[in-house]
């Protein structure tokens, strides 16, 4: 049974599209990533799942149960939610907030709170509103973990954290993963996705356009090629099937190439290049390919001839 499941989930704010039709299926014990451009519908999906907003259509289930107010109130005992930006009550100290939070889950989570606050080097005696944004993020992280939830839903989780804390946070998430927890992780930052996620859903314009496994994405389908032609030569017209995202910059041309090596060498020879580089692409460049609208893929190079 999938831990999170949505079918044709739809949310319109009046006439404005939040999400059009989102289909997700996240299995227990997975680390599942969720990525997409601004306005694609990532936050809308998460908020609909957790009951902050009502779906206009489709259905959503967590641990097999429909996401109604009543069901969610019970399910939330086992869910830890890390919001992108959380506000906190004025005047409260970190410790007060964490203890207050723990009360909602019944058990006194003192030992776990202590362990987590020490792990993240968080001073619990300070008022929350006096903390830097990074430290406030730590408070959010601790409060979403202190009741040892089975499912973690993280929205832009590392915003504001310094690299050391980020690394610590990821180490902790991997530990949780080893203990069998499910992690649903929405982010813009591809390197994070790369480090943690096993599968990634790419959302654009309110629809999931692809669900890929991280292994297959890293699987060097594309090579990044950069080429320098001789000074004074006519602008380059690249005739190469399997080349995409061609970017000419004066004498430099770069493109992504997924075809055969022999064809590439032949074309480089024909172009009479002075220099060339072949690299594995950034995951970022692979994703940009998904982000871009349909039809822009095989744009011809502006040619001078």
Partner 1 sequence: MNLYLQEIRQNLRSLAIWSVCIVGLFAFSMAMFPTFSLNPKMLNDLMKSFPKELLDAFGISSADFSKPLDYMAYMFQYILIAVGAQSILLGSSIVSREEADGTIEFLYAKPVTRTYIMTSKLLAGLTLMAMLNAVFLGASLGVLNIVSTGVDTGTVALLCLTMLLVQLMFFSAGLIVSMLPRRARRFTSVSLGILFATYFLGIMSSVSESLGGLRYVSPLKYFDPPQVVHTGALEPVYLVIVAVFVIGSVAGSYALYRRRDLSV
CA dihedral sign of residues 288, 291, 297, 303: negative
Q: Which CB atom, from 25 or from 101, has the smaller least distance to partner 1?
A: 101
Interaction between residue 145 and partner 1 (CB under 8 A)? no
Cα gap 305→274, rounded to integer Å: 20
In the list 57, 64, 65, 77, the residue contacting partner 1 (rule: CB under 8 A) is 77
Q: Whole-number minimum distance, CB 53 to partner 1, in Å?
A: 4
Asked if 223 and 256 touch (Cβ cutoff 8 Å), the reply is yes
Q: Which CB atom, from 112 or from 292, has the smaller least distance to partner 1?
A: 112
Cα gap 152→38, rounded to integer Å: 22
In the list 28, 58, 95, 101, the residue contacting partner 1 (rule: CB under 8 A) is 101
CA dihedral sign of residues 74, 75, 78, 83: negative
Burial of 301 (0-12, 13-18, 19+ CB in 10 A): middle
Residues that contact partner 1, how many (by CB under 8 A) = 30
3-state secondary structure of 195: helix
Interaction between residue 291 and partner 1 (CB under 8 A)? no
In the list 73, 108, 133, 275, the residue contacting partner 1 (rule: CB under 8 A) is 73
Interaction between residue 103 and partner 1 (CB under 8 A)? yes
Interaction between residue 104 and partner 1 (CB under 8 A)? yes
Interaction between residue 38 and partner 1 (CB under 8 A)? no
Q: Which CB atom, from 50 or from 161, has the smaller least distance to partner 1?
A: 50
Interaction between residue 281 and partner 1 (CB under 8 A)? no
Interaction between residue 69 and partner 1 (CB under 8 A)? yes
Cross-strand partners of 73: none
Q: How far is CA 160 from the centre of its chain?
A: 16
| Stretch of residues binding partner 1 (CB under 8 A), selected from 49-57, 111-119, 188-196, 199-207 | 49-57
3-state secondary structure of 136: helix
Q: Whole-number minimum distance, CB 250 to partner 1, in Å?
A: 46
CA nearest to 22, candidates 39, 38, 42, 50: 42
The residues of the shown chain that bind partner 1, judged by CB under 8 A, are 13, 47, 50-54, 69-70, 73-77, 79, 81, 83, 85-90, 100-101, 103-105, 143-144
């Amino acid at each position: 049974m999938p831990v999170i499941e949505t079918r044709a989930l739809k949310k319109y704010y009046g006439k404005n599209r939040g999400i059009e039709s989102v289909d997700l299926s996240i299995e227990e014990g997975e680390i599942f990533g969720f990525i997409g451009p601004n306005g694609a519908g990532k936050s809308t999906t998460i908020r609909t799942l957790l009951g902050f907003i009502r779906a206009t259509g489709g259905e959503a289930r967590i641990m097999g149960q429909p996401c109604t107010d009543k069901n969610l109130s019970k399910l939330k005992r086992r869910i830890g939610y890390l919001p992108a930006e959380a506000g906190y009550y004025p005047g409260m100290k970190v410790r007060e907030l964490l203890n207050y939070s723990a009360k909602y889950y019944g058990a006194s989570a003192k030992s776990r709170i202590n362990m987590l606050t020490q792990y993240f080097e968080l001073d619990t005696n300070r008022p929350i509103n006096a903390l830097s944004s990074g430290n406030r993020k730590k408070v959010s992280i601790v409060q979403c973990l202190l009741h040892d939830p089975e499912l973690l839903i993280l929205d832009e989780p590392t915003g504001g954290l310094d690299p050391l804390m980020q690394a610590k946070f990821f180490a902790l998430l991997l530990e949780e993963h080893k203990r069998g927890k499910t992690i649903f992780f929405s982010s813009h930052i591809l390197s994070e996705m790369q480090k943690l996620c096993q599968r990634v859903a790419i959302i654009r314009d309110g629809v999931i356009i692809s669900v890929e496994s991280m292994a297959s994405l890293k699987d060097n389908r594309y090579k990044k090629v950069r080429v320098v032609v001789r000074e004074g030569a006519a602008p380059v017209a690249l005739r190469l099937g399997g080349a995409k995202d061609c970017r000419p910059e004066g004498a430099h041309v770069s493109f992504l190439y997924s075809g055969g090596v022999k064809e590439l060498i032949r074309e480089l020879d024909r172009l009479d290049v002075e220099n060339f580089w072949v690299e594995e692409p950034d995951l970022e460049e692979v994703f940009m390919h998904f982000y871009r609208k349909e039809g822009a893929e095989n744009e011809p190079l502006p040619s001078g001839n």
